[in-house]
Amino acid sequence: MEIRFENTTAYNLQEYKKFVNFHSEKNNLKYYLYTLFISVLLIFCMIMQFSYGRILLGICFIFVFVIFLCYRFLHPLYLVKKEASSKKVQKQMKNTYTFYDDFVTIFNGETKVKLRYFKFYKIYEEGDRFYLYLDKTHSYVLLKNNFSIGKPEDFYGFMKKKLWKKI
């Protein structure tokens, strides 16, 4: 098997913050529109219950509304804090990505994982890095200047061909 591309990228707090900013820019509109839609729906249900004299049910909808808003705005902060304090970020773990024609291997110094290309969700290119998403929230970061085999200009085209159904 011929190695097409190889990249070694270290994860640190600065890189993680850049990923969070990028991910937020890509997904915040959908997230906030969904929150707005559910909030309007809950407020409508509250108003309807109070207008029909069902005070207890209206209070239940207020309770659900407050819990929903707390979850929607505090849960992402919790996830970011948890990930920022993870072993991967704190120890500045390095991942080495080796891309072959049919699969990619990812080695973090301890374990080696082999993934077929259909397992990836999407790829995004931004400035000096690529974001290779496994799903809507989990991504690998590959810095463009860290390619030891292959060129970053060719990498995006290579991945587009492998993920053509998903781009």
Here the tokens at position 146 are 């860290």
CATH class of 5-11+91-162: mainly beta
Q: Is the whole model's pTM more than 0.95, yes or no?
A: no
> Going residue by residue through the chain (167 aa), what tens digit of pLDDT does each one get?
789 999 998 877 777 778 777 877 777 788 889 999 999 999 999 999 999 999 999 999 999 999 999 999 898 778 777 766 766 655 678 889 999 999 999 998 888 999 999 888 888 888 889 988 888 878 888 999 999 999 998 999 899 888 875 54
DSSP 3: -
Q: Which phi and psi angles does 76 have, rounded to 5°?
A: -60, -35
- Cα–Cα dist 147/127, whole Å: 15
